[in-house]
Structure 1
Amino acid sequence: MGAGYVDALVKSNKIMAATLFTEDLERSKEFYAGVFGLPVHWEDADSAVFLFGDTMVNLLRASNARELIAPASVGGPQTGARMQFTIWADDVDAVCDELAKRGVTLINGPIDRPWGIRTACFADPSGHIWEIAADLPKS
């Protein structure tokens, strides 16, 4: 497999969409609209799509996920975190203050990390982890 294969596989070096499995589509939809202030871009009875810039976040009823990923199994919401989204911000603390106003409870943070960033994490209603991050000021 040569460079042509890689070029065809990764056309734009961007992730087009992330599909998140949820047991409660309505609650997740309300969370994303309220926390991120985004309108639903597209929806049907089993999914709702939000646009984060050029990336689609598709909320899909977990009961419909099986056919999408079979023969792999769909993990439950209590099996522990298996991924994390990171959003860059200018001021992690200011974003955390706004999240608190929107009823979001932080999992951790804000924390200054030894690799040079300040972070804080929270979860959506289905347990998907979101991180807010910013570079620490250079000293």
Structure 2
Amino acid sequence: MVNGLPSEVEVITLFVDEIASSKAFYARVFASETIWEDAVSSVLRFGGLLINLLDVSQAPTLVEPLPVGPSSAGARVLLTIRVVDVDQVCAALREIGVDLLNGPINRPWGRRTASFADPSGHVWEIAQAIDQT
């Protein structure tokens, strides 16, 4: 570890294509507290982690000289949330109109998982530990 660099992640910023639809999606899917919001962003609390939904138009100055990749380029990140019962959560997601990308499926590394994407293509995985005996 680099001296002075803590090991705890504070904020993950997701560049979103359309802030209004992203805010609506996250409000519908996650029961997270909104701690900051303006016309181009919404910061949500996920336990000790903050997720910043940021309109992609605001992203270039944060990552330059790298370019901001388009959401059409495909998945580049997988954010995993531990749950007690993947099948139950999948049923609840389907009830509110969220389409699953895959799963539920038992993985060889001892997890039962399923994945879904937000309106900008950020992939979320729900996972539960399973008995490997």
TM-score under structure 2 length normalisation: 0.95
TM alignment of 1:1-139, pairs within 5 A: 6-10=2-6, 13-139=7-133
Hey, which bits of structure 1, 4+ residues long, moved more than 6 A?
A: none
2:97 aligned partner, one-letter code: G
Number of aligned residue pairs: 133
Q: Which runs of 5+ in 2 are unaligned?
A: none
Q: State the distance in 2 between where 1:92 and 1:61 align.
A: 30
User: 2:43 is paired with a residue of what secondary structure?
Assistant: strand
Which structure features the higher share of strand residues? 2
Q: CA deviation at 1:138?
A: 4.3
Q: Which runs of 5+ in 1 are unaligned?
A: none
Q: Contact between 1:33 and 1:39, CA under 8 Å: does it hold in 2?
A: no
2:28 aligned partner, one-letter code: G
TM-score under structure 1 length normalisation: 0.91
User: 1:14 is paired with a residue of what secondary structure?
Assistant: coil
Q: State the distance in 1 between where 2:118 and 2:125 align.
A: 11
2:45 aligned partner, one-letter code: L
Q: State the distance in 2 between where 1:109 and 1:90 align.
A: 15
Q: Which has the greater radius of gyration?
A: 1
2:21 aligned partner, one-letter code: R
Q: CA deviation at 1:137?
A: 2.1
Same amino acid, percent of matched pairs: 49
The CA RMSD measured in Å over matched residues stands at 1.2
